[in-house]
């Protein structure tokens, strides 16, 4: 199994998206803890008391280039919007981990027209690329959608285990 470095999105005063009485930062931190619980020594969770985007954390990160970075998020839009997907830097092609995560997350959270999205306008994918790190941002459904939120909350253990299997 590849070693995974988990970044829980938002935090440190930025709640991220909200929905149904939940905040994105709290939910993805709960998921990060589960990933660590099930992944043991194959998982390192980045400091969850910080906002890795706001403080430019990836630019000062010093980890092995063989480690796989996954940044956890949840989307927000209209209450009918659904689905999960993987975001990668626009200059890269999806690797085996991106493809496995995209397949898995789109099965758990269906509804997106694309399961892998290339973006050139996001800071953390750019920062990771500049450092030579393998990085992907994982959108774990829409916190603003009652169905996605229920799936996330009721299956958080299975989601953590499924994410880990993508890095076998």
46-72: pLDDT as tens digits: 999 999 999 999 999 999 999 999 999
User: Using CA atoms, how far apart are residues 129 and 84, in angstroms rounded to an integer?
Assistant: 23
pLDDT band with cut points at 50, 70 and 90 for residue 150: very high
Q: To the nearest whole percent, how much of the chain has pLDDT over 70?
A: 100
User: Which residues lie below 8 Å from residue 95, measured CB to CB, with a gap of 6+?
Assistant: 134
Alpha carbon distance 72, 109 (integer Å): 14
User: Which pLDDT score is estimated for 87?
Assistant: 98
State the pLDDT at residue 97: 98
Cα separation of the two ends of the chain: 4
**Residue pLDDT, tens place only, 84-139:** 999 999 999 999 999 999 999 999 999 999 999 999 999 999 999 999 999 999 99
- Confidence class of residue 144 from pLDDT cuts 50, 70 and 90? very high
**Torsion, Cα of 8, 71, 133, 157 (10° steps):** 90
Q: How many angstroms separate the CA atoms of 75 and 112, rounded?
A: 11
Residue 101 dihedral angles phi and psi, to the nearest 5°: -65, -45
pTM of the model: 0.97
Q: What is the pLDDT of residue 49?
A: 96
């Amino acid at each position: 199994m590849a070693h995974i470095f988990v970044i829980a999105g938002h935090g440190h005063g930025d709640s991220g998206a909200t929905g149904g009485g939940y905040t994105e930062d709290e939910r993805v931190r709960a998921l990060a803890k589960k990933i660590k619980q099930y992944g043991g020594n194959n998982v390192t969770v980045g400091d969850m008391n910080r906002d890795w985007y706001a403080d430019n954390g990836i630019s000062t990160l010093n980890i092995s280039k063989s480690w796989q970075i996954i940044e956890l998020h949840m989307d927000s839009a209209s209450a009918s919007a659904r689905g999960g997907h993987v975001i990668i830097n626009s200059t890269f092609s999806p690797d085996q981990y991106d493809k496995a995560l995209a397949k898995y997350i789109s099965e758990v959270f269906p509804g997106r027209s694309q399961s892998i999205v290339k973006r050139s306008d996001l800071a953390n994918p750019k920062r990771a690329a500049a450092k030579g790190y393998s990085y992907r941002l994982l959108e774990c459904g829409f916190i603003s959608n009652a169905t996605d939120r229920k799936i996330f909350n009721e299956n958080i253990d299975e989601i953590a285990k499924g994410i880990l299997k993508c890095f076998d």
